[in-house]
Amino acid sequence: MDSRKVSASAHLLLAAVHVYWATGATWPAGDERSLSLTVLNLQVSFGPGVVLPLAALHLLLAGAILTSARWRLSRLVVCGLVAGLAVRAAAGLVWISGAVYTSTAFYWLNLLLYTPLCVALCVADLKLVRAQRPLVPEFSR
């Protein structure tokens, strides 16, 4: 499986998780407040009006990744994704350094899951963008 499919699959999985949360389910937490604190380290709504647009965004990102070899707009979207992932990875490193309490579930999930995945996706997507640069700009349309 190539890196384009792996990266797109990650976003499809994230879209599915957001749709799941839109049903009112709170896995991996026991309630919405705990879910919010575990995933974001702050209390926000996980209602359908919040999580369904995020699911749609992840579907859009997966589509952009899969079509980035053909369409310039898709490459632009993937560039934005790389920038967003880089910012999230940098914030994750700050949180790991002790900016949040180390006794929280968020701290450990951020340390072991969220930040490493952001770094891996950022690197994979950056490679996709760099690999798609046309050799002769006049023929890239």
- What average pLDDT does the segment 14-21 reach? 98
Residue at 140: amino acid letter: S
Q: pLDDT digit string (tens) for 95-133?
A: 999 877 889 999 999 999 999 999 999 999 999 999 866
Domain boundaries, the chain: 3-130
C-alpha–C-alpha distance, residues 75 and 89, integer Å: 21
| Nearest residue to 121 (alpha-carbon basis) of 87, 73, 71, 98 | 87
- What average pLDDT does the segment 7-35 reach? 97
Global pTM reads: 0.88
DSSP structure string for 88-123: HHHHHHHIIIIIS-TTSHHHHHIIIIIHHHHHHHHH
